[in-house]
Amino acid sequence: MAEVQWHSIEPAPVVLIAGKEALLAQRALERIVRLSRERHADLEIHRFTSTEITKSDVLQYTAPSLFGEPRLVIIDEVTRGAEPLINALMEYVQSPEQDVTLVLINRGDQRAKKLLDAVKKSGAPWVNAAEIKTAKAKMTFAMSEFSRARRRVNSDAVKALVDAFGADLMELAAVSTQLMRDTEPEPGQQAGPITLRHVEALTAGRAETTGFAIADACLAGKEREALVLLRQAELSGLSPVAIVATIVRKARQVAQAAIPGATAKSTGMQDWMFRNNAQLARHYSERALASVFESLAAADAAVKGNDRDPMWALQRLIVEISRARRGRA
C-alpha cells in the first residue's frame, strides 16, 4: 500500500504515521484504536515512546501468540529510538505478525530515516501528517471538516474561520465542530449553509476573550456575557487553571476595596482600578463575598484535577458568583 489519508486508514500489521501536524496524527491513531477495538473486544493495547521500549520489548510484544490474541502496539517518536531498537523494527516490518497491529509514529524529524524508508518500501500503509502551513491548505482542511459531516459552508465563512483560528489547526477544527453544532437543524428539517454571519456570531469579541475579561464580567454580575466569553476562551485553548486564578485575583481586589476606609494607596491599586473595584464591591455583602471565595476554592480544586470536566466547573462558578451578587441586591 501507499500513502493513506487519516480518515481512511485501516488497522494493518504495520502502520506508519509521519509528520509534524499533531491533529492529523492524533486522528489517525484514534481511528486505528477505535476500529481495532470494534473488531476485537479482547484487544490488548500497549503504548510506548521510543525511549521507553527496547529491542527485547519489541520481540516480547510482537512475538507470535499461542492463541492468536489481538494486540495493538504503539511506539511514539519512533525515530528517536536507540540503534538496536531501530534495527529490530526494520527487521520486524519485513515479516510482521498478522495478529499484531504495530503503529509507528514519527513526529516529523528525519532521524533514523532508514526505518521510515523501510516501512514505506515494505508496502505498509502510512499516513502523511505533514504540517499544514499555507492559508490555502488550511481552507482546504476546514472545507473537508464540513464536507465529511455533510454540511454546506460558504467560502467567505471558511476564510473568516481560517483568518481567526488558522494559527492552530486543533482550534480551527474545534471551532468548525462548534459551528456545526450551533447550526444543527431541527429534526426533520434540512440544514442550510453555514455563513459568514454564523462565524461572526461565534467569534465576536474573540480578541478580548482573556481571563481578565471573563473575571470582569463575572464579578460585575454579567452572567450571560461571562459564559459566552468562557466558551470563546475554551475554543481559544485558554487554560481553566489560569482563568480561575484570574478570577481569584479580581475577587481579592473587590474584597480589598470593600474594606471600610480602604483607599487606592492602602490597597496598592491604581486610582482607576480602585474606583472600579469599589463600585463592584457595593453589590456584595460580607456573606456574598464569603460565598464567592468558597465557590472559587471549589473551582480551583476542580480544574486542578478533582473534576473530570473543568469547563463545567467554571460554568458553575460563574453562575454561583452571579447568584451571590444577586443575593446582595
**DSSP character for 107?**
-
Q: Among all chains, which residue has been given the C-alpha cell 452572567?
A: 223
Q: What is the pLDDT of residue 210?
A: 67
Task: Based on the fold, state whether residues 174 and 287 are members of the same structural domain.
Answer: no
Q: Which of 70, 103, 128 is the last residue of a domain?
A: 128
Q: How far is CA 165 from CA 162, 235, 288, in A?
A: 5, 9, 39
Task: Based on the fold, state whether residues 83 and 150 are members of the same structural domain.
Answer: no
Rounded to the nearest angstrom, the gap between the alpha carbon of residue 40 and the centroid of all alpha carbons in its chain is 28
Helix (H), strand (E) at residue 182? helix 169-182
Task: Based on the fold, state whether residues 241 and 310 are members of the same structural domain.
Answer: yes
Task: Based on the fold, state whether residues 265 and 248 are members of the same structural domain.
Answer: yes
Task: Based on the fold, state whether residues 17 and 78 are members of the same structural domain.
Answer: yes
Amino acid at 285: S
> Does the pLDDT value for residue 189 go beyond 90?
no
Phi and psi, residue 6, nearest 5°: -60, -35
Task: Based on the fold, state whether residues 149 and 51 are members of the same structural domain.
Answer: no
State pLDDT tens for residues 297-312.
999 899 887 667 889 9
- What angle in degrees, to the nearest 10, is found between the helix axes of 83-92 and 113-121? 0
State pLDDT tens for residues 66-80.
777 899 999 999 999
Determine the Cα–Cα distance for residues 17 and 7; give it in Å rounded to an integer: 12
Q: Which of 128, 150, 171 is the last residue of a domain?
A: 128
CATH number for the domain including 84?
3.40.50.300
State pLDDT tens for residues 126-157.
999 999 999 899 999 999 999 999 999 999 99
CB 89 within 8 A of CB 115: yes
> Does the pLDDT value for residue 328 go beyond 60?
no
State pLDDT tens for residues 30-64.
999 999 999 999 999 999 999 899 999 999 999 98
Q: How many domains does the chain have?
A: 3
State pLDDT tens for residues 226-275.
998 898 888 777 778 888 988 998 999 999 999 999 999 898 887 888 99
CATH number for the domain including 158?
1.10.8
3-class secondary structure, 211: helix
Q: What is the pLDDT of residue 206?
A: 56
Q: What is the pLDDT of residue 68?
A: 75
Amino acid at 120: K
Task: Based on the fold, state whether residues 190 and 251 are members of the same structural domain.
Answer: no
Q: Among all chains, which residue has been given the C-alpha cell 454580575?
A: 221
Ramachandran quadrant class, 188 (left: phi over 0; alpha: psi -120 to 50; beta: rest):
left
What is the percentage of the chain residues whose pLDDT exceeds 70?
A: 96
Determine the Cα–Cα distance for residues 101 and 264; give it in Å rounded to an integer: 66
Determine the Cα–Cα distance for residues 92 and 327; give it in Å rounded to an integer: 69
Residues 6+ apart with CB under 8 A from 77: 49, 50, 51, 105, 106, 107
What is the percentage of the chain residues whose pLDDT exceeds 90?
A: 60
CATH number for the domain including 212?
1.20.272.10
- Gap between the terminal Cα atoms of the chain: 69
277 confidence band (pLDDT: 50, 70, 90): very high
Task: Based on the fold, state whether residues 323 and 219 are members of the same structural domain.
Answer: yes
Task: Based on the fold, state whether residues 317 and 226 are members of the same structural domain.
Answer: yes
Q: Which of 152, 184, 203 is the last residue of a domain?
A: 203
Task: Based on the fold, state whether residues 24 and 124 are members of the same structural domain.
Answer: yes
Q: What is the pLDDT of residue 329?
A: 40
Find the domain containing 199 and state its range: 135-203
Task: Based on the fold, state whether residues 23 and 117 are members of the same structural domain.
Answer: yes
Rounded to an integer, the average pLDDT of 100-105 is 97
Amino acid at 14: V
Q: How far is CA 313 from CA 6, 176, 238, 316, in A?
A: 34, 24, 15, 5
Task: Based on the fold, state whether residues 91 and 106 are members of the same structural domain.
Answer: yes
